[in-house]
Every structure is written in structure tokens, then in C-alpha cells.
Amino acid sequence: MADHPNNAADWRALATAYESKQRTSDAVTALERYTALRPKDTDALGELATQYTALANVYNTDYANAQTAAALAAPAPFTPPSSSPLGRAFNNPSALQDPISTAVQSAQTSALSAAATKLQATATKAEAAYQKLAALTPDDATLQIQLGQAAQTAGDSATAVAAYRRFLKLAPTDPLAPQVKKVIKSLAAQAAAQSTTQPSG
């Protein structure tokens, strides 16, 4: 590929080869190059969005595992009575520091942060891919559902709600419509709760 970096057909073929081998990350890279060269290829954009979602699911699992590991690395200690000498030492953060435990907790916190960063970045890329697809095929109701889900995963509630409302407009009698309405209400309630907890000014 180094000899022909702008050969779209080669990137497309490479992406297909990686997909067949379930090398998702490599397939994403190839599809990114291909869609940069062929930005209106809806099939390829759809594949890219699907591959991003698959990666996000992997990172979501990694994040959940990192959360579990972080919790296990910092178990709740037995705390003696605060009036005893040992209790006073426990209440003094600098008195009883286990360097190994501290190092393990630090490593687990770093792993958790890295997993969260990967998940957020990939979910955001999936959302962007679905947005491009939605712009090219604005009357595809199913695509609006996919965009909404991707935006939710990326933490972009405003885009998610807009996509779900677009879905309801395109397919008001779809069997998923009642569920989508519930999701919209839930997202609106979350947004309202966040606005009341945020300091003003």
C-alpha cells in the first residue's frame, strides 16, 4: 500500500481481507483510508460505522473489566476503633502506606482511564460515521436509530435525541417507536437532572 497510498480499490480490498480475518482494528484503518478517498460510498461508510461499533463493544468490555480490577485492587480495609493507636494510624493517610498496594491501585486506575479514553474516542468516531451516512441517506429510518445509539454511547445526548426524533418522524408506526419514545424521555430527564446539579454562572 505504501507504493499506491491513494488507490481506493486496494484499500477496499485490504479492508475486506482484514474483516474476513476479524482484525477489526486493521479493517477500521483501511476503511478510514478508503472512505477518505471515496466519502460518498454509503456501503463502505456503513461498514466503517459497524466496525467502529464492534471496536467500541470490545473497549466497553475492557472498561468493565478494568473497573472490576480497580475495585478488587482497593478492597475496603478492616478499620480498628478510631480511639486506638492503630485506629489513629489508619485515619492518618501518611501513616500506613503500603507501597505495593498503592502501585497496584495506581496501575489499575491508569488502565481504567485508558480503557475509558479508547471507548469514548471510538464511540465518537462511530457517531461521526453514522452522521455522514445520515447526511447521505436522510430518509433511512433504521440509520437514525443507529445514529442515536452511537451518539448515546459517545455521551452526545443532543444528537441522540435529534436522531431518535427523526426516526419517529420517518417511521411513526414502527414497532420500535414506543421504545424510542421512552429513550427520548429518559435522555431528557437525564439532561434536566444534570442542568439542576450544575452550578450557575
* pLDDT for position 138: 93
Average pLDDT (15-34) is 94
Using the structure block, give the residue that is written with the C-alpha cell 468493565.
Answer: 64
Total-model pTM: 0.73
Dist CA 130 CA 27 (whole Å): 17
Ramachandran area for residue 68 (φ above 0: left; ψ -120 to 50: alpha; else beta): alpha
Helix (H/G/I), strand (E/B), else coil: 158: helix
Amino acid, single-letter form, for residue 41: D
Average pLDDT (150-164) is 93
Dist CA 38 CA 59 (whole Å): 28
Q: Residues 91-149: pLDDT tens digits? A: 655 555 556 556 666 777 787 888 889 888 999 999 999 999 999 999 999 999 999 99
36 pLDDT more than 90 = yes
**Beta carbons of 19 and 30 less than 8 angstroms apart:** no
176-180-183 Cα angle (round to 5): 145
